[in-house]
Amino acid sequence: MADPHRYQAIRDRFEATVAQLRTRVDANLFTTSTFRDNCRLIVPADKANQVHSLLASLKAMGFDMLVELGAADYLHYPHATDRYGVWYCLLNTQSGERIIVKTFVNDPEPRLRSVFDLWQGADWMEREAYDLFGIEFEGHPDLRRILLPDEFTSFPLRKDYPLRGKGERHNFQPILRAES
């Protein structure tokens, strides 16, 4: 069995980071939660426009690497109150401290401010979230599809998108033997 104090040092450090963070941003901007060594800051959907300032403060505190930017669709998810979740996994490369910032956006226009100005590595990750979920990142320098073809019109990782697509598989002209 796991030692219950195994993650205590990580959590103590997280508490110190949160205390420092509350002096920099609105103290009611976020809530915290932990699971094992995951330390999370959760920003509710109505304050999602302030996530950028929260992330900027974290960057100023030494979280200099954006490890991951991801999204999920919580449609039909039990007890979910918001449609899309977006998370930022940060790493302080000096101390090794990690922190996860999670926020939510909703239809009809799921949009967030781009963090490309903080971490340029967000470029392709924001494009991927836009490509598959349709979340728009304002201020992104080149927000276009990255995985799917440019002429694709849907956002296929949304839960209301049918698995077999909406006919995108048949949009190309076949080449017949006599013509090629």
> How buried is residue 121: exposed, middle or buried, by Cβ count under 10 Å (0-12/13-18/19+)?
middle
**Closest distance to other proteins from the beta carbon of 168 (Å):** 6
Residues that bind other proteins (CB under 8 A): 148-149, 156, 161-166, 168-180
**Closest distance to other proteins from the beta carbon of 156 (Å):** 5
Supply 127's token pair: 């494009």
**Closest distance to other proteins from the beta carbon of 144 (Å):** 14
For residue 91, which of 101, 82, 83 has the smallest C-alpha distance? Answer: 101
Is there a cis peptide before residue 141, judged by omega within 30 degrees of 0?
Answer: no
Closer residue to other proteins in complex, CB, 4/174: 174
Longest dimension (CA), the chain: 73
Closer residue to other proteins in complex, CB, 100/129: 129
Q: Using the 8-state DSSP alphabet, how is residue 46 labeled?
A: G
Closer residue to other proteins in complex, CB, 4/149: 149
**Closest distance to other proteins from the beta carbon of 131 (Å):** 12
